[in-house]
Amino acid sequence: MSLTKGLRLAAAGVAFSIALASAPAHAQEVSAEHLTAARAALTAIRATAQFDDILPGAALSLRDELLRKDPNLEDAINETINEQAIALAARRADLEREAALAYARNFTQEELQAIADFYSSPAGQKLLQTGPAVSAEVVRAANIWQNGIARDLAQQVATQLQAKVGDRAPAPEAAQQQ
């Protein structure tokens, strides 16, 4: 390896080490007030609600796996899984803390407060409740619109090509589906 390559690798290693060392420091720069605002925003937008079923799902999957291996141990398996799942439930706070830090790193305290205020309002709550259904309607409308645009484009191109080149014009499949 040449001296230049060695120096470049060493410099990259140092830069990587500095980046790793500074990552926890960055997390520590978040003030308690900023973190509180992040947690309020997370609560208001239900940002971690989608993860509520992870532990129960893992417990159910493990239960099913163990029962397939030995159905005679059902009571012991159920009892043990329930005990351990309850013990692990406290680790949900770790996810909440990491999510709050992620939001705090990407939004100012003022932005987080505005997010929390909006999503805690009646309009924000309605958006959270009806937003997915409205989004699905928009996607359906966009699909219909896309199909209509593609069909009309194909028909218009077919008509124009026929006028320009006559019978030699290829007919797009969408134009034939009238």
- Residues 15-68 have pLDDT tens digits of 444 444 444 444 458 999 999 999 999 999 999 999 999 999 999 999 999 999
Secondary structure of residue 2 in the 3-state scheme: coil
Write down the pLDDT at residue 28: 55
For helices 54-69 and 74-89, the axis angle rounded to 10 degrees is: 160
What is the spatial distance between Cα 47 and Cα 50, in angstroms, rounded to a whole number?
A: 7
In this structure, which amino acid lies at residue 87? Answer: A
Output the CA torsion 85→90→96→98 (10° steps): -90
pLDDT tens by residue, 85-127: 999 999 999 999 999 999 999 999 999 999 999 999 999 999 9
> pTM to 2 decimals?
0.63
> Residue 73: which pLDDT band, with cuts at 50, 70 and 90?
very high
Q: Where are the domains of the chain?
A: 130-178
For helices 32-45 and 109-120, the axis angle rounded to 10 degrees is: 30
The residue with greater pLDDT, 35 or 170, is 35
In this structure, which amino acid lies at residue 51? Answer: F
